[in-house]
Structure 1
């Protein structure tokens, strides 16, 4: 796994999921998202719970397909589960294909737009830190499409960076997060550089806004599975 050193140099553009990011993305996730492995383990567990009788799983913004591979290993190749990853980054899909080939995986990968993809009926849809990169004006439309794609009782499991409704608390949450990143080996310079690169690219909602968005667009319930400061994992049931 290649180490993330992308922001040790001055940024020249806004953040995008290009070849440079794809090459270090696995390391970036583990070092940039608090308790990433734990939240993914929860996602895997609740995905498997929903797949007792098989079905289709979509991972929207699947990046290098690490989570889908974990689900495939846990479910077993004869489980009747069909795993599908979608990402609009050619570089991410290229890296994912290399992983799948190495593991002899039967996961399906598609380079495409999750807003326009021709979905089949599914039992679980996963979205890890993807909605926050979708423009707010179309975010509700995507969540509505997700609800319509799911079978009755199906699960939408999504993780997001969240903001606080209280400005003072929000600053404290951000400070807490920056301390976490420093412990992971990122310098103050790298932290500032990445923050500037993500400006107006990553647009987070509050925890309550995420829950209400799910309920407004076809889900009967939405709860928080996991939260650490300004990072949260949600489950919504149709």
Structure 2
């Protein structure tokens, strides 16, 4: 399948609207994510390896905010524990529709259930691995604690939560360096300054990043024994929290 080029913000917009995971975004999402998130392919592969390490026989593995199912496929192709099921959830109809086609074309043995739901209301049960890959940052801040607490309650002992997020920084110099480096990354991948600026405006009220310390504090508050940052590339990081 030919990857379509992300040119959503390539022309000057007369009206700026908030970013949405609609048909336009779903159509170019593979190109958008590869050109916008440094280290994305390595991160996805790593999540598959971690899922295989912590998946428990006869449990569920969740991909919350699954978009087109990259994490779902990575887990599906790696997990060896018997009788596991992957439950992939996204609130975007466009994403789920495409994810269904992508998963159907994959012949791995682990069964997958795809659901169009709001993850804040989805039950989490009998889970050994839960992944939120650049998902929590789109959840309203005042709902994040409850969501992580719900995930913790639904995990079996020995289960893990993997959360990948864009980070912000308390130190102004560090924040400026990471922002500039990420801008350089996007320019190197062919985005113009106008595209970068327009997309930043569209995301301003939709994607709310937090500091690393805020994430660790939330994991601890929910009851997780410990949490680690296992991956970082520029201002994008992934954490694993252990029940």
Question: TM range, normalised to the smaller chain?
Answer: over 0.9
Separation of aligned partners in 2, 1:215 and 1:161: 20
- Which consecutive residues of structure 1, in runs of 5 or more, have no partner in the other structure? none
Structural RMSD (CA): 1.4
Q: Can you list the C-alpha shifts for 1:26-58, whole angstroms capped at 9, x where unaligned?
A: 111111100011111221111110025352100
Matched residue SS, 2:205:
coil
Contact 2:149–2:222 (Cα < 8 Å) also in 1 = yes
Residue 113 in structure 1 maps to residue 115 in structure 2: no
Task: State the 1:66 CA deviation.
Answer: 1.8
Tell me the TM-score normalized by structure 1: 0.95
Separation of aligned partners in 2, 1:9 and 1:55: 47
Aligned to 1:96: 99
Task: State the 1:194 CA deviation.
Answer: 0.6
Residue 151 in structure 1 maps to residue 160 in structure 2: no
Q: How many residue pairs are counted as aligned between the two chains?
A: 237
Q: Can you list the C-alpha shifts for 1:58-95, whole angstroms capped at 9, x where unaligned?
A: 0000001122112212236x842211100000000001
Tell me the TM-score normalized by structure 2: 0.93
Aligned to 2:196: 191
